[in-house]
Amino acid sequence: MSKQIGEFSFKAITFILTPGQAGTVQMQVTFEGSATGFGLTLGTMNVTCTGPDTGQWTWCAANYPDCGQGVSCSGQGQFRDVGSKCWHTRGLISISDGCTCLVDGSFDLNARTWGGRLLERE
């Protein structure tokens, strides 16, 4: 089990839906919120369905801590439907300062939130 190094809590601001391959729908979601050690975070998640209950996501964000210089980050991962319009997300994020971390979270469509844990990379 990876050691938890922080948490993140984001609110979805916009959703852009476009047609994908073979009748799928591509989704782009912009978020704002905060993450432990990163302060204010503004980011965009791109979602691609790869099956009826699964898919992949990519992430690109800028972070503005209360003290110190801001950093950017990007990454990717997978999601799976866990019911009630909620998806479990897991992936790897690379930070512009050279660090990487695992993201383990939950996207709740009803609440329009994405939150979870930041974990030390094993």
Q: Convert the pLDDT of each residue in 22-78 to its tens digit.
A: 888 899 999 999 999 899 999 999 999 888 899 999 999 999 998 878 999 999 999
**CA contacts within 13 A on the Cβ side of 110:** 4
Q: Which residue has the tokens 């699964």?
A: 54
Coil, strand, or helix at residue 68? coil
Per-residue pLDDT tens digits for 74-118: 999 999 999 999 999 999 999 999 999 999 999 999 999 999 999
pTM for this model (two decimals): 0.92
22 — phi, psi (to 5°)? Answer: 50, 40
Nearest to 89 by CA among 45, 52, 27: 45
